[in-house]
Amino acid sequence: MEGVACASFTSSASKSLSFSSLSQSSIITLRQNYHNNTLKSKSPRKLVIRASSGSSSGSVVTLLDYGAGNVRSVRNAIRYLGYEIEDVRTPKDILNADRLIFPGVGAFASAMDVLTKTGMAEALCTYIENDRPFLGICLGLQLLFDSSEENGPVNGLGLIPGVVGRFNSLNGFRVPHIGWNALQIAKDSEILDDIGDRHVYFVHSYRAMPSNDNKEWVSSTCNYSDDFIASIRRGNVHAVQFHPEKSGDVGLSVLRRFLNPKSQGSKKPTQGKASKLAKRVIACLDVRTNDKGDLVVTKGDQYDVREQTKENEVRNLGKPVELAGQYYKDGADEVSFLNITGFRDFPLGDLPMLQVLRHTSENVFVPLTVGGGIRDFTDANGRYYSSLEVASEYFRSGADKISIGSDAVYAAEEYIKTKVKTGKSSLEQISKVYGNQAVVVSVDPRRVYVQGPNDVQFKTIRVPKPGPNGEEYAWYQCTVNGGREGRSIGAYELAKVVEELGAGEILLNCIDCDGQGKGFDIDLIKLISDAVSIPVIASSGAGAVEHFSEVFMKTNASAALAAGIFHRKEVPIQSVKAHLLKEGIEVRI
């Protein structure tokens, strides 16, 4: 199949599909087929048609949602700022837009496949070439370039010279680039005027590089291993590699300035000290129904969530939507939901959890992760749902990333046994369609002591304190089903395999430390963060601000997560960040 030619729109518009004619399963199928559409780069043809004049009212924003991941957050941010949304249903809707936002999520080739098959690619080229107000987000920026190396080379829209390539992880930088990083403003960008020296949120594995050929477009860069293009601007056309809808108040200011260029900030932008990728502080909410059927936030003690009382009731620490909103206000860099009954229940039948995501994303403009029970299912009526369909519903409900636990362990075990990537595991399916940056693998290991490193086939560590029988070594056994079942695979071996299968991030728990408040398991976190080139989130055991600085100073963890100390208000998030800043560790403020 040839690449997109930004040529006469009218030649194919009448034959193109509209988004409204595509079911979610059809969109998923189109995106799954992207690996068959490897293209060779060629010079784009010049557009010769001028777009029709816009007809939308001043309070309406046209949104190009091609069925990707979490676009709900962009919708919520637009509505939060007081604007209505009109969805693109046909290519003509693009040409008639007054202001067009294109939030691209997922893989480059699959996005181009959908845009081409629906006739949207040619309309986009026409719209942008005519200098109409446009904002591309993340993949919406990358698609403007000549081509991408992601499963390619694959042709892009060809509007900006350059090739989108993968970050280089050989020099010690984690890929994907996930987290809050700083911008270096290259020229007057207009929409970035309120940012100041503050962090914005990135999540991507591929980036475009500045060059002499595209320097007229570049409005800001970001440094991660090298300087890459963080935003572009030419006339009314803007695009950003970061996610403004996930960058808190700073990101909302970017959207506000695009939607209303004449607006001025209500106050002088807060000046920060952003200079590089910040360490993230993540609030985690374990969510489940209590004995009365209400959805509550709970917290376990070594994974036991019931009070040690006569009633033995589920520990109730608050309502999930309210707590998530509070943590956003307190400065949490991400909010993670774990549906801890998901391994038993059919997740698409868990409407309360989907509602939690939908309501939370209305007012929480930082990344949301959800986990629990994301795997293939067959419901009571015999209807089969793939893990990809389950994950897609979570994405559409407001999740930015999904977390896979037990199912990732089973996939890793199978791969170790067969050495074959089947492409059928939940990890492989979801990362192929939505990109590995959207997939977190949650690991639940426990320490097993042994006399020597040759006693087991798994990677061991020398322990600082001897085990109960004087053992000097230990390995970390992975568990499934909420820590109830041990498996014959170590955390080290699992981490190496899931990275190869497509995981973009590892959430590293520790059953031994969970709920103890004595600090993270530094030995475990160092073992895993040194073994992989993807980001690692430290979890389990935080009880004081010093535990956060310790894990960042002694390991290569990219983020640290806590639950109980935040829920019980023992350690406020701002206290953690103030301590980290004092210790010279960069965080978002």
SS (H, E, C) 102-161: EEECCCHHHHHHHHHHCCHHHHHHHHHHCCCCEEEEEHHHHCCEEEECCCCCEECCCCEE
Q: For residue 264, how far is the Cα from the chain centroid?
A: 31
Assess whether pLDDT exceeds 80 at residue 281: yes
Strand, coil or helix: what is 71?
A: coil
The model carries a pTM of: 0.87
Query: Which of 160, 180, 176, 178 lies closest to 168, judged by CA?
Result: 176
Contact 404, 374 (CB under 8 A): yes
pLDDT at 348: 61
Count of helices and strands (H, E) across the chain: 17, 29
Query: Which of 335, 331, 337 lies closest to 576, judged by CA?
Result: 331
Express as a percent the part of the chain with pLDDT over 90. Answer: 66
Q: What is the mean pLDDT of residues 17-42?
A: 43
Ordered by where they begin, the domains of the chain are 58-257 (3.40.50.880), 278-302+313-581 (3.20.20.70)
125 is in an annotated binding site: no
pLDDT at 242: 98
Question: For residue 394, what are its two tokens?
Answer: 């979570």
Residue 30 phi/psi, 5-degree rounding, is -60, -45
Assess whether pLDDT exceeds 70 at residue 289: no
Express as a percent the part of the chain with pLDDT over 70. Answer: 81
Assess whether pLDDT exceeds 90 at residue 461: yes
Question: For residue 556, what are its two tokens?
Answer: 């290569």
- Could you check whether the bond before residue 445 is cis, i.e. omega within 30 degrees of 0? no
Residue 406 phi/psi, 5-degree rounding, is -55, -40
Q: How confident is the model at residue 355 (pLDDT cuts 50, 70, 90)?
A: confident
Strand, coil or helix: what is 482?
A: coil
Q: How confident is the model at residue 352 (pLDDT cuts 50, 70, 90)?
A: confident
509 is in an annotated binding site: yes
Residues shown for the chain: 589
Query: Which of 300, 301, 309 lies closest to 341, judged by CA?
Result: 300
Q: What is the mean pLDDT of residues 132-147?
A: 97
70 is in an annotated binding site: no
- What average pLDDT does the chain have? 85
User: How many angstroms separate the CA atoms of 518 and 540, rounded?
Assistant: 9
Q: How confident is the model at residue 117 (pLDDT cuts 50, 70, 90)?
A: very high
Contact 25, 68 (CB under 8 A): no
Q: How confident is the model at residue 270 (pLDDT cuts 50, 70, 90)?
A: low
Q: For residue 113, how far is the Cα from the chain centroid?
A: 22
Residue 357 DSSP class: H
Query: Which of 167, 168, 160, 165 lies closest to 212, judged by CA?
Result: 160
Angle, vertex CA 400, rays to CA 397 and CA 402, nearest 5:
90
Classify burial at 232, counting beta carbons within 10 Å of its beta carbon; exposed 0-12, middle 13-18, buried 19 or more: buried
Please give the positions annotated as active site.
138, 243, 245, 286, 444
Assess whether pLDDT exceeds 90 at residue 578: yes
